[in-house]
Amino acid sequence: MLKKPVIASLVLITVGIIVGALVVSNFSGGVSPGWAGGGDVQLGGPVPVTTVQADLKSLNSAFVEVAKSVTPSVVAITVTTEGKSDGKSQRDFFHDFFGPDFRLPEPGPSQGAGSGVIISPDGYIATNNHVIEGAAEDGIEVVLNTKARYKAKLVGTDPTTDLAVIKIDAKDLQAAALGNSENVQVGEWVLAVGNPLGLTSTVTAGIVSALGRNIRIIQDSYGIEDFIQTDAAINPGNSGGALVNLRGELIGINTAIATTNARYQGYGFAVPVNLLKTVAADLIKEGKVRRGYIGVSIQAVDQTMADAVGLGKARGVFVQSIVGGSAAEDAGLKETDVILTIDGIEVNQPNELQRHIATRHPGDVVVLSIFRGGNIIEKRVTLKARDEDTRTVPASEKRNEKEPDTVSPSIVQLESLGMTVRSMTETERKKYGVENGVVVSDVKQFGEAYKRQIGENDVIVEVDRKEVSSPAELRKTVESRKTGESVLLRLKRPDGTAYYTAIQVQAE
The predicted-structure confidence for 253-276, as pLDDT tens digits, reads as follows 999 887 766 677 778 999 999 999
Q: Which of 115, 130, 282, 297 is catalytic?
A: 130
Strand partners, 269: 229, 256
120 is catalytic: no
Say how many Å lie between the first and final Cα of the chain, rounded: 128
Burial class (CB in 10 A: 0-12, 13-18, 19+), 358: buried
Phi-psi sector, 433: left (phi>0), alpha (psi -120 to 50), beta: left
pLDDT score, position 380: 95
- Identify each DSSP E strand in 383-464 by its residue range: 384-385, 411-414, 419-423, 438-443, 459-463
Q: Which of 73, 115, 181, 239 is catalytic?
A: 239
Average pLDDT in the 199-206 region? Answer: 92
Residue 472 · residue 409 · CB < 8 Å:
yes
Q: 219: pLDDT confidence band, cut at 50, 70 and 90?
A: low
pLDDT at 16 over 60: no
Q: 220: pLDDT confidence band, cut at 50, 70 and 90?
A: low
The predicted-structure confidence for 360-398, as pLDDT tens digits, reads as follows 899 999 999 999 999 999 999 999 987 643 443 443 333
DSSP 61: H
Average pLDDT in the 277-296 region? Answer: 91
pLDDT score, position 84: 54
Residue 352 · residue 315 · CB < 8 Å:
no
Among 117-121, 126-130, 274-278, 392-396, the range scoring the smallest mean pLDDT is 392-396
> How many Å apart are CA 225 and CA 53, to the nearest integer?
40
441 is catalytic: no
> How many Å apart are CA 496 and CA 31, to the nearest integer?
85
C-alpha R_g of the chain: 34
pLDDT at 244 over 60: yes
The dihedral through the CA atoms of 407, 412, 416, 419 has a sign that is: positive
The predicted-structure confidence for 154-196, as pLDDT tens digits, reads as follows 999 999 899 999 999 999 999 999 999 999 999 999 999 999 9
Is the pTM value of this prediction over 0.75?
no
The predicted-structure confidence for 491-505, as pLDDT tens digits, reads as follows 999 998 899 999 999
Burial annotation 253-274 (CB, 10 A radius, 16+ → b, else e): bbbbbbbeebbbeebbbbbbbb
Instruction: Tell me the three state secondary structure of residue 438.
Output: strand
* Residue of 55, 4, 500 whose CA lies nearest to 301: 500
The predicted-structure confidence for 427-485, as pLDDT tens digits, reads as follows 888 899 999 999 999 999 999 999 999 999 999 999 999 999 889 889 888 988 889 99
∠ CA(280), CA(284), CA(287), 5° rounding?
105
CA atoms within 13 A on the CB side of 108: 0
130 is catalytic: yes
Q: Which of 115, 158, 162, 423 is catalytic?
A: 162
The predicted-structure confidence for 301-316, as pLDDT tens digits, reads as follows 999 999 999 998 999 9
Average pLDDT in the 318-325 region? Answer: 91
As a whole-number percent, the residues of the chain with pLDDT over 90 amount to 54
